[in-house]
Amino acid sequence: MSLALTPAARRTAAAVLTAALLVPLAACGDDKNDEGEKTGAAKDAAPKAELTVLAASSLTDVFETAGAAYEKKNPGTKVNFSFAGSQELAAQVDQGAPADALVTADTKTMDGLKSDTGKPTVIAKNRLVIAVGEGNPKKVAALKDLSDSGLKVVLAASEVPVGRYSKQILDAQDVDVKPVSEEPNVRAVLSKVELGEADAGLVYKTDAATSTEKTDAVKIPDGQNAIAEYPAATLKTSKHGEAAAAFVKWLSTPEAQKILRDAGFEKP
């Protein structure tokens, strides 16, 4: 004997059956969503590695800060920096020094290493200032003052980016300077002024900003100044190519750019 269901009962039974069928489908959908989110998160994380980055001397302070921020963002990754004049870094690359990425203080040096690097990206810009002793005892006010024979001026060597920029702006203003020494990098120039071994020297404004307790900085008008560009690139000999590329890419992110701006570097 069969039981006939009322229309209302049939509707209730259909609803229960439909709900029962949808539950496993919804569960499968949630699993896929979780899987997708997990996959996305993994995709965003930089590969773990211990990186060696060759970087221009003028990046010493800011890259120490940037490296710590990058390591915090990417647990398991360690970034070691080797700072020197860009020409010294180029020599290291030529000699096959084990490293993963390179950041120079000029595009000329980077361009000379095209066969050794990936495609470079300019991550920041900089300008020059005249570093003088605290309180500016020699009353240096402009580039032309550096030609005073009674003034001990120190410059970077001409093969160093900051030395090349210095020569460029001095020549453009017809200022003849006979430096008491020519240094291998910008930090060495600044050190001479800090120690009182020189009355003045041409350095990047960001380097001068790290020495405000020992030196003062005399601004150079934009029309008489030079713009330094800082390109970054991976090295083809890197054993951690993916991780190196992730770090170089990060240098252009808002987080890294804020660190550079806070240190006085300009937008690329």
Task: State the CB neighbour count (10 A cutoff) for residue 115.
Answer: 6
**What's the pLDDT score for residue 46?**
77
Q: What is the mean pLDDT of residues 245-254?
A: 98
- Residue 45 pLDDT grade (very low, low, confident, very high; cuts 50, 70, 90): low
Phi-psi region of 220 (alpha: psi -120 to 50; beta: other; left: phi over 0): beta
SS3 125: strand
Amino acid identity at 17: L
pLDDT of residue 16: 41
163 versus 9: the higher-pLDDT residue is 163
Angstrom distance (rounded) from CA 157 to CA 257: 29
- Structure tokens of 105? 């203080």
pLDDT band at 3 (very low <50, low <70, confident <90, very high): very low
Q: Widest CA span of the chain, in angstroms? A: 123
C-alpha separations of 23 from 20, 28, 31, 36, 52 in Å: 6, 9, 13, 20, 52
29/16 Cα distance (integer angstroms):
20
Which DSSP symbol is given to 105?
Answer: S
In this predicted structure, what is the pLDDT of residue 17? Answer: 40
Q: Is the pLDDT of residue 181 over 50?
A: yes
Mean of all residue pLDDT scores within the chain: 88
Please tell me the predicted confidence (pLDDT) of residue 21: 40
- Judged against a pLDDT cut of 70, whether residue 43 lies above it is answered with no
d(CA 88, CA 91): 5
The 10s digit of each residue's pLDDT in 115-169 is: 999 999 999 999 999 999 999 999 999 999 999 999 999 999 999 999 999 999 9
Of 267, 265, 266, 268, nearest to 62 by C-alpha is 265
| CATH of segment(s) 128-224 | 3.40.190.10
Whole-prediction pTM = 0.81
What value does the mean pLDDT take over residues 63-74? 97
Per-residue confidence band for 44, with pLDDT thresholds at 50, 70 and 90? low
Q: 205 φ, ψ to 5°? A: -65, -30
Cα–Cα distance, 50 to 265 (Å, whole number): 26
Superfamily name and number for 50-125+229-262: Periplasmic binding protein-like II (3.40.190.10)
Sign of the CA dihedral with 234 first, then 236, 240, and 243 last: positive
- Which residues have C-beta within 8 Å of that of residue 103, sequence separation ≥ 6? 53, 54, 55, 56, 59, 63, 123, 230, 231, 232, 233, 251
Enter the tokens of residue 232.
């970054």
What three-state secondary structure class fits 55? strand
Domain locations in the chain? 50-125+229-262, 128-224
User: Among candidates 92, 58, 8, which has minimal Cα distance to 189?
Assistant: 58
Residue 199: pLDDT over 70: yes
Do the domains spanning 50-125+229-262 and 128-224 agree at the CATH topology level?
Answer: yes
